[in-house]
Amino acid sequence: MRTGVVVFPGTNRERDAAMLLQRLDGKAPTMLWHTETTLPALDLVVLPGGFSYGDYLRTGAMAAHSPIMAAVRAHAARGGLVLGICNGFQILCETQLLPGILLRNNHLKFNCKFVDLRVENTRTPFTHAYAQGQVVHAPVAHGDGNYFADDATLNDLEQNHQVVFRYGHNPNGSARNIAGIINKQGNVLGLMPHLENAAEPLHGHVDGATMFASVLSKMAA
């Protein structure tokens, strides 16, 4: 399997994702700097969490215009897998690889705590190893995790089974308790919770490892 992790100025979860991928896959992912204009041959590209470009303008807005994102969009258009976590989810929305946008948390405070997530769709490369309706535990760490879209878009997401993760208890005001969505083609997933930080016993929970193992096994098939 060939994996890569994009690093923007202000990214702070890239090594968490890279270490987990290496532990599960046996090979270190390629670290990709934001100024690169091409990607090596990859199966999975990860946009990790953090505060790209200091979250100036809007979260993910400046990163969406980084040179590497044109290559990420082309990778997705070819059917390559893309995973955006937290700030990565915000970037995917800003690039319109996923619909909607992430707004300030409705209580206007930074969230840093474990939450319960319900797996809504197991027919994706990222979630096929979970059970439908399974409740998993992962931390959130964001100030702008309030997912918003108009009613027509939300209805489409529901009808097309694009809601992949839903909060058990809404921590930020997200529409319809949405914690993560996938594109219609099923190869681009964005979610706010940090499943990479709930992946080994020292984290307190290991549910997140299943998502990464799921996608790695799909690529190996």
CATH classification of the domain holding 97: 3.40.50.880
How far apart CA 151 and CA 108 sit, in angstroms, is 23
Catalytic residue among 75, 137, 142, 194: 194
Model pLDDT, residue 218: 81
Catalytic (active site) residue 107: no
Spatial contact of 201 and 215, defined as CB atoms under 8 Å apart = no
For 25-41, the pLDDT digits (tens) are: 999 999 999 999 999 99
Q: How many angstroms separate the CA atoms of 40 and 20, rounded? A: 20
pLDDT (mean) for 33-50: 97
Instruction: Give the model's pLDDT for residue 75.
Output: 98
Q: What is the pLDDT of residue 57?
A: 85
Domain count, the chain: 1
The secondary element (H helix, E strand) that includes residue 47 is strand 44-47
- From the list 14, 75, 196, 203, the catalytic residue is 196
pLDDT of residue 41: 95
Residues 6+ apart with CB under 8 A from 14: 5, 6, 7, 31, 48, 50
pLDDT at residue 1 above 90? Answer: no
Domain span holding position 172: 3-220
Is 86 annotated as catalytic?
yes
Whether this prediction's pTM lies above 0.95 is answered by: yes
pLDDT over 80 (residue 221): no
Q: Average pLDDT in the 174-179 region?
A: 98
The residue annotated as part of the active site, out of 86, 94, 120, 137, is 86
Mean pLDDT computed over every residue of the chain = 96
pLDDT digits (tens, 9 = 90+) for 58-109: 999 999 999 999 999 999 999 999 999 999 999 999 999 999 999 999 999 9
186 Cβ contact list (under 8 Å, min separation 6) = 123, 124, 125
Distances (CA, A) of 5 to 57, 100, 121, 131: 24, 23, 25, 27
pLDDT category at 56 given cuts 50, 70, 90 is confident
H or E element at residue 119: strand 111-119
112 tagged catalytic: no
Nearest to 34 by CA among 85, 70, 68: 68
